[in-house]
Amino acid sequence: MGSTYSEINGPRLLADLRTLARFGKEGQGVNRLSFSPEDIEARAWLRGRMRDAGLNTQIDGVGNVFGQTPNVGRTVLIGSHTDTVPNGGWLDGAMGVIYGLEIARAMIEAGSLRDGGVDVISFADEESTYVVTLGSRSFVGELADSEITEGKSIVGETLVAALERAGYAGSARAALDPGRHTAYLEAHIEQGPRLEAEGKRIGVVTSIVGMRGMEASFQGQADHAGTTPMRLRKDAGAALFAFAAEVTAAFEETSAADTVWNFGHVVFEPGAGNVVPRAARLLIEYRDPSEGVLDAMETAVLKAADRVNREGKVVAETHRSFSLAPVAMNPNLVQCIEDSARHYKAPAVRMPSGAGHDAMHLARHLPTGMLFIPSIGGRSHDIAEDTSEEDIVLGAQVLARAVEAILAA
């Protein structure tokens, strides 16, 4: 400790963010799908800005844009992603990358590299246009070669063709360097309404929640809804309603402070007003930082399905469509970000991240921390996504102080 801390340049940070938002501009938001012409141009621009900042740069074989502070032995790696979903927001992953650029640049300018510097990375295809979290999994060595050769976009272009087209194919793939990289930090907009609702300006992420997806299906029998007495029906829709009510009650009982769940999709077949539903399907997702809570929720789903089956009229089946384990952030980094927020008198709160981030993959390999700033109205993955400039600058300043504290420790 005891080192001097660099001040970041707020107007320069905002100008870079606004410039980046012009690549694929769509109203107030951005359309910048992985390896689209706009995304490829944005990567070239980003590499140029890194070079201007004094970093050694490369765009690697899967499209990661990587800038390293020269002449330092240890660095904090800061990054996120600059690709977007269709009609996405201008901040989303872009902000975490430009935070890294600004902090690296400010430290180089200030000459505060005594304890080390910052490496910056924009991970490719976090939004899964071709392959889910392509860049960060490549960087930590968790990407199978077959994922590159077999990857395809929704419109059918192969990943190999996209990398050729972008000019990235054949370049070396950047990799985590455990001797150099002491920690990974990722800043992101919250993508939810909690900070705004609670009047906080900084979210200190304690974990990225685990999540499970389940599909429940119900098989009954179609009957005339006028001529079939209630007691003689095998009503798949009514079974789904009773199941959802039972699961909801059990989730309310089981849930911890940060548990969330969603019944996002329902289908009744044949779906006519005068026909008793023959079949029904329900998508269930639930998330929590604790694997134990997720297990208890899954048990509740299975139990409700068993109850339907014991009644013997409708056949219920459930299956897990996906499962992601919770990932804890490093407690020292949590403390470090919180201390930095307190230094700037920024109202902060510890909270889980309810969405996935590249940090999930980094956290298995080096100490990892995340910082959130508020999303206005909780909006994200939408062109309406926004955050006040004051909050954007404050977040970068809090992260910058945390970086130098980590290096000095």
Residue type, 341: A
Q: Using CB under 8 A, which of 57, 87, 171, 228 touches its own copies? A: 228
Q: Using CB under 8 A, which of 15, 154, 232, 409 touches its own copies? A: 232
Question: Nearest distance from residue 124's CB to its own copies, in Å?
Answer: 22
Question: Nearest distance from residue 278's CB to its own copies, in Å?
Answer: 11
| 10 touches its own copies (CB under 8 A) | no
Q: Using CB under 8 A, which of 1, 155, 172, 230 touches its own copies? A: 230
Which of residues 74 and 350 has its CB atom nearest to its own copies in the complex?
350
Q: Using CB under 8 A, which of 33, 104, 209, 333 touches its own copies? A: 209
Contact 253, 297 (CB under 8 A): no
Q: Using CB under 8 A, which of 1, 2, 71, 224 touches its own copies? A: 224
The β-bridge partners of 186 are 370
**Rounded to whole angstroms, how far apart are CA atoms 388 and 384?**
13
Nearest alpha carbon to residue 51 among 120, 113, 117: 120
Contact 127, 34 (CB under 8 A): yes
**Binding window for its own copies (CB under 8 A); candidates: 14-22, 76-84, 90-98, 242-250:** 242-250
**Rounded to whole angstroms, how far apart are CA atoms 80 and 371?**
12
Residue type, 101: L
Question: What is the helix (H) or strand (E) element at residue 65, kind and residue range?
Answer: strand 65-68
**Binding window for its own copies (CB under 8 A); candidates: 11-19, 53-61, 96-104, 279-287:** 279-287
The values of phi and psi at residue 293, to 5°, are -65, -40
Contact 31, 24 (CB under 8 A): yes
Tokens of 118: 């910052």
Q: Using CB under 8 A, which of 276, 293, 297, 336 touches its own copies? A: 276
Which of residues 263 and 344 has its CB atom nearest to its own copies in the complex?
263
* Residue that is written with structure tokens 């699961």 in the block: 247
* Residue that is written with structure tokens 């980003």 in the block: 46
Helices marked H in 312-388 = 331-343, 359-362
Kindly identify the residues of this chain, within the stretch 311-350, that bind its own copies according to CB under 8 A: 321
Which of residues 163 and 222 has its CB atom nearest to its own copies in the complex?
222
Q: Using CB under 8 A, which of 176, 260, 376, 408 touches its own copies? A: 260
Q: Rule CB under 8 A: which residues touch its own copies?
A: 190-194, 197, 209, 211, 213, 223-230, 232, 235, 237-238, 241-242, 244-245, 248, 255, 258-268, 271-277, 283-285, 287, 321, 353-356, 378, 380-381
